[in-house]
């Protein structure tokens, strides 16, 4: 099998799995999103099911029933694509599913508190296409007699990881509580890439190279988080431990087609592989987060630090040995380094009905081995990660009304990587000379958040000047 195989995987695996190597790529809740998730010790909205379930035991009459809506605009820039001097960008705008949560009680457990939640842990759907048009007199060392070149490249990525959870908390004292969240995870990651390259020579012969790859990984399992929370006179503290993912069922599929025609009868080839039921695996690293909330007058400062353990190399999808004979190694590998992230946020009081929220957070990538496959085709010794180290910034307002709370704001994140090289049409149908696919990739994301927090409706209505019994 030829190295073009890696070119497709570069975009499909690095964009999506790379996202999973950035642990703070997504945040949950309303205020918690605008505080960039720096709320382990002081979370007060529905995000507590994720950041620290123990906080549920310290909040009287939790003021939430469901979360709000977020909209995202994201862009990937690819500079100097296929050495054409042109740039490619892929823009996407759309709604992000809301985090939904609510509380309930069990009469036979009067001191215990419970919450349910639905979280879109990861959700991405990206499509990128490059159409070069007819390039006259291309400079190709392998084909000096080339007079026209046409390239068409299409990549599609889709990732969904939906969590359905139950959270529990028990206040041991009025100022100390413990809690846990159990989430069921439905995970699906799929990708497809198509490459078409046509080259016309001085003899009017046309070389045609085509390449297509599809793969899917599905996983079902459970994620458990346990936490503790304290409240002191002038300080709130909390710790939350994320346990490794418990895998219940996994499945993978892989299909690959590649062909070259027009070179010579001895060098042309056709290859087609299709495997519909491959063994696969999904793992996550243990994590610990610690946070404090510091009230000051009517304001509050939130500070957070988190650590994730390393994860040894393993195969996400187990590719058959007959494929590895040509590949050399399994491209669906994952290895994660240990990372520490930190951040801070603030709630700044303006009036009884208005707070301003602002925050920042680091998001260092844990991706290390072949999780992005630019390293496979990169000629330098430097590791490459599409979603490398990210920084998140957020700003918004918290509007308190008699019937509930509205949270409105925006967040921004960006990252970029200098990338290596990718193959050209093979000169002899086997050996491939390397050429640039692009010089740099940049990623930017803006999110616009509109959130609602509605307390128990009847309790609130009774406080309004309305004739309700």
> How much is the pLDDT for 11?
43
Distances in whole angstroms, Cα of residue 232 to Cα of each of 47, 81, 82, 139, 343: 21, 57, 60, 71, 22
**Whether the predicted pLDDT of 329 surpasses 80:** no
Does residue 350 lie in a domain region? yes
Does residue 451 lie in a domain region? yes
Does residue 390 lie in a domain region? yes
The model carries a pTM of 0.81
Across the chain, mean pLDDT equals 79
Q: For residues 68 and 453, what is the distance between their CA atoms, to the nearest angstrom?
A: 8
Which CATH number characterizes residue 220's domain?
A: 2.40.160.60
Query: Residue 112 — pLDDT band, cuts 50, 70, 90?
Result: very high
Does residue 469 lie in a domain region? no
**Whether the predicted pLDDT of 235 surpasses 90:** yes
Burial 211-224 (b: 16+ CB within 10 A, else e): bbbbbbbbbebebe
Does residue 468 lie in a domain region? no
Q: For residues 53 and 57, what is the distance between their CA atoms, to the nearest angstrom?
A: 8
> How much is the pLDDT for 415?
77
Does residue 298 lie in a domain region? yes
Does residue 225 lie in a domain region? yes
Contact status, residue 250 vs residue 54, Cβ threshold 8 Å: no
Domain range holding 444?
4-463
Q: What share of the chain is helix, strand, coil (3-state, %, to 5)?
A: 10, 55, 35
- pLDDT tens-digit map of 367-407: 875 433 333 333 334 444 445 788 999 999 998 877 777 88
Does residue 105 lie in a domain region? yes
**Whether the predicted pLDDT of 441 surpasses 60:** yes
Q: How many domains does the chain have?
A: 1
- pLDDT tens-digit map of 288-306: 999 999 999 999 999 999 9
Q: For residues 226 and 246, what is the distance between their CA atoms, to the nearest angstrom?
A: 15
Cα-Cα-Cα-Cα dihedral sign, residues 123, 247, 223, 104: positive
Burial 373-404 (b: 16+ CB within 10 A, else e): bbbbbbeeeeebbbbbebbbebebebebeeeb
């Amino acid at each position: 099998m030829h190295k073009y195989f890696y070119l497709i995987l570069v975009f499909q695996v690095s964009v999506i799995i790379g996202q999973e190597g950035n642990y703070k790529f997504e945040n949950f809740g309303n205020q918690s999103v605008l505080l960039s998730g720096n709320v382990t010790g002081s979370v007060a909205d529905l995000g507590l099911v994720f950041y620290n379930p123990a906080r549920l035991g310290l909040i009287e009459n939790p003021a939430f029933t469901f979360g709000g809506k977020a909209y995202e605009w994201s862009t990937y820039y690819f500079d100097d694509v296929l050495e054409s001097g042109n740039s490619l960008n892929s823009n996407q705008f759309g709604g992000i599913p809301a985090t939904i949560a609510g509380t309930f009680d069990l009469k036979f457990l009067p001191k215990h508190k419970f919450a349910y939640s639905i979280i879109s842990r990861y959700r991405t759907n990206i499509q990128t296409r490059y159409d070069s048009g007819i390039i006259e007199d291309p400079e190709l060392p392998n084909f000096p007699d080339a007079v026209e070149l046409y390239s068409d490249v299409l990549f599609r990525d889709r990732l969904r990881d939906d969590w359905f959870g139950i959270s529990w908390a028990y206040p041991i004292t009025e100022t100390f509580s413990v809690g846990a969240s159990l989430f069921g995870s439905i995970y699906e990651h799929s990708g497809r890439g198509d490459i078409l390259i046509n080259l016309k020579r001085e003899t009017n012969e046309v070389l045609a190279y085509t390449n297509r790859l599809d793969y899917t990984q599905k996983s079902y399992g459970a994620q458990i988080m346990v936490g503790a929370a304290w409240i002191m006179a002038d300080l709130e503290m909390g710790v939350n431990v994320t346990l490794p993912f418990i895998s219940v069922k996994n499945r993978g599929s892989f299909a690959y087609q590649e062909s070259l025609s027009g070179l010579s009868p001895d060098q042309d080839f056709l290859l087609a592989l299709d495997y519909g039921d491959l063994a696969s695996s999904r793992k996550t690293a243990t994590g610990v987060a610690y946070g404090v909330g510091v009230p000051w007058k009517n304001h509050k400062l939130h500070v957070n630090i988190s650590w994730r353990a390393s994860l040894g190399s393993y195969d996400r999808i187990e590719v058959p040995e007959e494929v590895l004979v040509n590949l050399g190694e399994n491209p669906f590998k994952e290895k994660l380094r240990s990372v520490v992230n930190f951040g801070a946020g603030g709630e700044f009081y303006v009036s009884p009905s208005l707070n301003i929220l602002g925050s920042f957070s680091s998001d260092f990538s844990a991706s290390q081995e072949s999780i992005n496959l630019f390293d496979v085709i990169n000629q330098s010794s430097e590791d490459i990660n599409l979603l490398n180290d990210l920084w998140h910034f957020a700003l918004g307002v918290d509007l308190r009304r008699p019937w509930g709370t509205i949270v409105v704001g925006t967040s921004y994140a960006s990252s970029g990587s200098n990338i290596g090289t990718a193959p050209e049409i093979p000169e002899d149908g086997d050996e491939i000379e390397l050429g640039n696919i692009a010089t740099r990739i940049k990623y930017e994301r803006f999110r616009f958040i509109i959130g609602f927090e509605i307390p128990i409706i009847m309790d609130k209505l009774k406080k309004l000047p309305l004739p309700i019994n």
